[in-house]
Structure 1
Amino acid sequence: MMKVLSRYDELVAGGELQPDPDQRRAAIRLGQAQSELEAAAQTGKAGLLDRLASRLRPQKPAAITGVYMWGGVGRGKSMLMDLFHDCLDIRAKRRVHFHEFMQEVHERIRLERRNQTGDPIAPVAAAIASGVRCLAFDEMVIGNSADAMIMSRLFRALMVEHAVTIVTTSNRPPGDLYKDGLNREHFLPFIDLIEKELDVVGLNGPTDYRLDRIGDMASWYAPTGEEATAKVREVFFRLTDFAPEDAANVPSAELAIGAKRSIHVPKSLKGVGVFSFKRLCGEARGAPDYLAIARAFHTVILVGIPQMGPDKRNEAARFVTLIDALYEHRVKLFATAEAGPDTLYLAGDGSFEFERTASRLNEMQSDEYMALGHGAEH
């Protein structure tokens, strides 16, 4: 099977990728991990006598340093992760989106606690590590205290006790994970663990390749209808590289809000989340819900925003809180609406204050805003 670097160079030579020094440096480092993992897999194919001896004297495999790739949206992190996983010629590998992985972890912990009274982390880590030598994550982000509390212990068990090699991507450097989060001091050992056990590789070139993909497509479509829906649908498939003909199989997700609540995300892929206005603003929600969304997704597609009057003052107030969260975290917003931002809410409690939200919505359509990195402070 081809090496990561060779495959990357082949794609550049064929014109499918633009030359990018940061991407190539990352491909070199991923290639090193690939070679070490494949060599270890070959060494592990022992003869009969060696296998019998290993059962009598089991030995933990040697640890292989993993990779933490971070950078702004559209810098090629997921593309490189795909190349690495596709080229890695071992059977004991797993590729999973980070949100999906954490849902699995919480479910395993819940079952362990139901079945026994001891610490659930050790058996959960052992179960996850079973048959896995390399665990590849996309879009590592810590959005709630429940995840933050278990990350350090779980990943220490995976990497140190079970010698699982972690390769992951994130929009943030390790030191900015769960920034300003509740009880963040309990999360700091995880940051130390990443910086000690993984090679941190930055991809922060000047080009946002995802923005190149959407070209001159607008981000606000009014009025609502089939044409507007078709436009944001095209945006989703361009940003995620998901085949439109396979639209029925776009993955969904449950985004945790604290320890006991979650938000259903009808379409969730590669940091892009699709929501309806009715689900986000027509139901009783507050700032924690919207902050979780803003931290988890670099791009939000919001469909069906109505023109609001006095009878929808609650929906308008929630919408203001949602937009504030998205704006402060520099989330890209694509929307279908009955009207433009300036005429969404002209009369009702808070309509005067809504002018600030309309101004933010207009700014969020600008090239300057679109070029900002997700999650960074203004």
Structure 2
Amino acid sequence: MLLVAGLWHLRNMGKVSELYRQRAEEGRIKPDPAQQSVLPELDRVLADMEAAPAPAATKPRSAWRALLGVGNPAPEPAPPVKGLYLWGGVGRGKSMLMDLMADAAPDQSSRRVHFHEFMQEIQAGLEQARKRGDQDAVRPVAMEVARTTRLLCFDEMQITDIADAMIVGRLFQVLFEQGVVIVTTSNRVPEDLYKHGLNRQLFLPFIDLIRQRMQVVCLDSEVDHRQGRQGGGQVWFSPANADARASMDAIWSELTQGSEVQPLELTVKGRKVEIPAFAGRIGRAGFWDLCGKPLGPADYLALAQAVDVLLIDGIPRLSMTNYNEAKRFVTLIDALYEAEVRLIASAADEPEQLYNEGEGSFEFERTASRLREMQDATWGAA
């Protein structure tokens, strides 16, 4: 499966640290000592992959020569290239560094994908493998990924779904066996993944696998680079009262400019996902339209691909009383953020105050930070 080593010279590997320096000089990145401290690890992954030898071709031995122990012995396997697990608080620049990593790697064999999206693809592949009657459904799906990918860059590894938790260990095991190198970001140290999850003891070997095959590095910065950015026109209205509604109506009228408005219905794995008002890739829905129904990552990914701008009315305070809806809202914002959808919303409070206590509040810190970043006037322009 491994590609010929010469492929890795096509773009001269484009060291991540060099890309970082260039973009800092261009004013596209604000240099941060904590970010700079992890650049050598990102460079190390690419350098190790470049140095890793291509599989040696061996001439098959006859049965007699094999029995006598002569001929071409199997070559010693090269030590595996260690990937990287980069974790730290929200807004510290992990996703930006992941983008640099993907830009520095050769296009022919690298892929950068959000973890939610990737796991949806895997689950779809598993469904097909089970229909074929494959006893080990994970292996053929993982082999197909490995066939075209040597470097897999995940953003935002989170494991909260038991279905993902039960297959991710076997999935990564096969990918590693096939020489796939994985680099991922996360808000949590590996030991906190799937924390308090159902049957978590079955998940623990995956944590050991991460420690064995990936270098775990903390991006320890005190600066949240998503805060303090210059905002443009107001796109977040709180509290969600009559004034907020009037402002949202005015923006909707300005954006649609008299276009015909009608509902948009998407079909995802047999489920119906509806945006009540839609015109020219601009959608509008209430919080309960999107989060009050049993929708999941695949539904929100499809929604994010269908719109360039989304207006959400009436985001309430979130807590244990509406925990399921809050989880869906987090997944929705992840999908919108990854697709760079322009978000305009009315809510009960500012993002940081929507969900600040109880189970789920830790995970919501990242969502609040993303909601704040998405208010910037240049959001999605790049």
Change (3 A) 1:106 1:317: closer
Partner of 2:249: 225
Which residue of 289, 301, 304 maps to 1:279?
289
Partner of 2:184: 168
Which residue of 206, 217, 224 maps to 1:201?
217
Counterpart CA distance in 1 for 2:91 and 2:273 is 25
Counterpart CA distance in 2 for 1:265 and 1:39 is 50
Counterpart CA distance in 1 for 2:81 and 2:250 is 51
Deviates further, 124-133 or 20-29: 124-133
Change (3 A) 1:28 1:323: same
Cα deviation, residue 140, structure 1: 1.0
Q: Is the 8 A contact 1:38 1:88 kept in 2?
A: no
Q: What's the TM-score once normalised by structure 2's chain length?
A: 0.63
Equivalent residue of 2:349, what SS? helix
Partner of 1:111: 128
Equivalent residue of 1:210, what SS? coil
* Equivalent residue runs for 1:59-70 within 5 Å: 62-70=79-87
Q: Structure 1 residue 22 and structure 2 residue 34: aligned?
A: yes
Instruction: Give, as a single letter, the amino acid of the residue that structure 2 aligns with 1:96.
Output: V
Partner of 2:50: 38
Counterpart CA distance in 1 for 2:29 and 2:353 is 26
Equivalent residue of 2:148, what SS? coil
Change (3 A) 1:114 1:318: same
Instruction: Give, as a single letter, the amino acid of the residue that structure 1 aligns with 2:26.
Output: G
Counterpart CA distance in 1 for 2:293 and 2:175 is 39
Q: Structure 1 residue 99 and structure 2 residue 107: aligned?
A: no
Change (3 A) 1:64 1:128: same
Equivalent residue of 2:98, what SS? helix
Q: Structure 1 residue 144 and structure 2 residue 150: aligned?
A: no
Partner of 1:296: none
Counterpart CA distance in 1 for 2:222 and 2:318 is 37
Counterpart CA distance in 1 for 2:82 and 2:24 is 27
- Superimposed CA distance per residue, residues 230-289 of structure 1 (whole angstroms, 9 cap, x where no aligned partner): 89xxxxxxxxxxxxxxxxxxxx997xxxxx9989698xxxxxxx97424235x555xx97
Q: What's the TM-score once normalised by structure 1's chain length?
A: 0.63
Q: Structure 1 residue 71 and structure 2 residue 80: aligned?
A: no
* Gap runs ≥5 in structure 1: 232-251, 255-259, 267-273, 294-300, 308-314, 342-360
Cα deviation, residue 220, structure 1: 2.4
Partner of 1:3: 15
Which residue of 100, 103, 108 maps to 1:83?
100
Counterpart CA distance in 1 for 2:185 and 2:200 is 21
Instruction: Give, as a single letter, the amino acid of the residue that structure 2 aligns with 1:7.
Output: L
Which residue of 180, 204, 207 maps to 1:188?
204
Change (3 A) 1:336 1:96: closer
Counterpart CA distance in 2 for 1:27 and 1:213 is 24
Counterpart CA distance in 2 for 1:75 and 1:81 is 12
Instruction: Give, as a single letter, the amino acid of the residue that structure 1 aligns with 2:183.
Output: V
Identity %: 36
Cα deviation, residue 5, structure 1: 0.9
Q: Is the 8 A contact 1:277 1:303 kept in 2?
A: no
Equivalent residue of 1:156, what SS? helix
Q: Is the 8 A contact 2:355 2:364 kept in 1?
A: no
Counterpart CA distance in 1 for 2:267 and 2:192 is 24
Q: Is the 8 A contact 2:84 2:182 kept in 1?
A: yes
**Matched residue pairs, number?**
298
Q: Is the 8 A contact 2:286 2:314 kept in 1?
A: no
Partner of 1:271: none
Equivalent residue of 1:109, what SS? helix
Counterpart CA distance in 2 for 1:158 and 1:118 is 18
Counterpart CA distance in 2 for 1:202 and 1:170 is 10
Cα deviation, residue 23, structure 1: 0.8
Q: Is the 8 A contact 1:93 1:135 kept in 2?
A: yes
Q: Is the 8 A contact 1:133 1:165 kept in 2?
A: yes
* Gap runs ≥5 in structure 2: 1-11, 62-71, 239-243, 256-265, 276-283, 301-308, 335-342, 367-382
Equivalent residue of 1:150, what SS? helix
- Superimposed CA distance per residue, residues 134-193 of structure 1 (whole angstroms, 9 cap, x where no aligned partner): 11111111121000000111111211x212111011122212212222222221111121
